[in-house]
Structure 1
Amino acid sequence: MATIVHGFDWPDRFVVGTVGTPGSRTFFLQARSGADLVSVAVEKEQSAALADRIDEVLDELMAEDGNPFSVPTVAPDGLADHEPLDEPVAEQFRAGAMGLGWDPSTAQIVVEAFPVLDVEAEADEDGVVEIDPPEALVVRIPVGSARAFAKRTREIVSAGRPLCPLCQTPMDPSADHVCELPDEFR
């Protein structure tokens, strides 16, 4: 079966956003071009890792002799997106594997998300397992938009519940927090 690719080569919008309240938020990657809207559920940790890795790739590209792709050090003015997710937020799939790449021919960051797969596959004689996912989200964004995406994503991730300064677990504001103190504090 061929993979259905939800492709966005120059999306009008590509963001990470949430639905729900801190402590019970669901994170989504959302891409929109015109009326075409795709929302993919992701984990908070996937969102944070994606933002960090995008900045790492952009920093590496910026460090190339003469910054040939004109990678900005920070998100350019005018690209900040503080709006909520576009409605309706309908989960296309839950992301399992994600990929990040660079297309030098278009000077774009390429973000890929693939669904969680619940299959058992057999390896070939070389030990390689090939599974075609039923669908994928593939988004290509220019370097300035990538910086703005990473910045917004970090802001969304950090907008959750505050961390306990002792045990570093999220504190629920509606309940008393009881933590397990590390040995060095006992």
Structure 2
Amino acid sequence: MARVIHVFRRPDRFVAGTVGEPGERAFYLQAIESSRTISVLLEKQQVSVLAERITALLGEVAKRFGEENLAEGTPGEPGSSDTDPLAVPLEEEFRVGTMGLGWDADSSSIVVELLAVTEEEIDESVVLDDTEEGPDALRVFLSPDAAKAFADRAEKVVSAGRAPCPLCAEPLDPEGHVCVRLNGYHDRNPVADTE
């Protein structure tokens, strides 16, 4: 079967979002351009890493090429944030395995490429390439402002889950958890003495 590469050169929206309750959330990235919508499923850690790497890449581009390069051709309002939920119906195109990130100097854009999980090992030359062989992909070009807005929202989405335990930093469930720092000697939900 031929490889499918979904390319969004000027997306109206590219966001991270979740479905489900904290502790059982499924993480998605969604790209929308005109009437076309693509949603891909990925892990919470992948969303977090992508946000961190985009922020680092923006810093590196500003350092190497100057701040004025980041302002070129940036559509939309600088700093505008998207707080709307994911568009529905939510139909997963594929589960993300490999992620690629780059800077396209011609369009002054951050390029995000998300490749589908495959059983074969992926040659890194497939990332950000239009070869006929390889996993399906989602490729999104983002202005620096849109990339920053994506990273900011992604960090909020990741941190909106369960609160961390103050002792071990593991996520707290509504019914509590067994804290490794207490060596299991602490009840999950201590009952107050009524005597």
Match of 1:125 in 2: none
TM-score, length-scaled by structure 1? 0.85
Q: Contact between 1:110 and 1:141, CA under 8 Å: does it hold in 2?
A: yes
Kindly report which structure 2 residues correspond to 1:53-72, keeping only aligned pairs within 5 A, or say none. Answer: 53-64=53-64, 66-70=66-70
Is 1:159 the counterpart of 2:160? The answer is: yes
Question: 55-64 vs 93-102, which deviates more?
Answer: 55-64
Kindly report which structure 2 residues correspond to 1:135-174, keeping only aligned pairs within 5 A, or say none. Answer: 135-173=136-174
Gaps of 5+ in 1: 122-129
Q: Percent identity?
A: 45
TM-score, length-scaled by structure 2? 0.81
Partner secondary structure for residue 119 of structure 2: coil
Q: Distance in 2 between matches of 1:19 and 1:66?
A: 39
Q: Distance in 1 between matches of 2:22 and 2:99?
A: 24
Is 1:177 the counterpart of 2:177? The answer is: yes
Q: Distance in 2 between matches of 1:161 and 1:29?
A: 20
Structure in which a larger fraction of residues adopt helix: 2
Q: Contact between 1:31 and 1:38, CA under 8 Å: does it hold in 2?
A: yes
Tell me the CA shift for residue 131 of structure 1: 9.7
Kindly report which structure 2 residues correspond to 1:35-184, keeping only aligned pairs within 5 A, or say none. Answer: 35-64=35-64, 66-70=66-70, 76-77=78-79, 79-119=80-120, 132-173=133-174, 175-181=175-181
Match of 1:17 in 2: 17
> Which has the larger Rg?
2
Q: Distance in 1 between matches of 2:155 and 2:102?
A: 19
Q: Distance in 1 between matches of 2:158 and 2:12?
A: 22
What's the Cα RMSD here? 2.3
Moved over 4 A (4+): none
Q: Distance in 2 between matches of 1:71 and 1:158?
A: 29
Q: Contact between 2:3 and 2:132, CA under 8 Å: does it hold in 1?
A: no
Q: Distance in 2 between matches of 1:65 and 1:116?
A: 34
Alignment length (residue pairs): 171
Match of 2:191 in 1: none
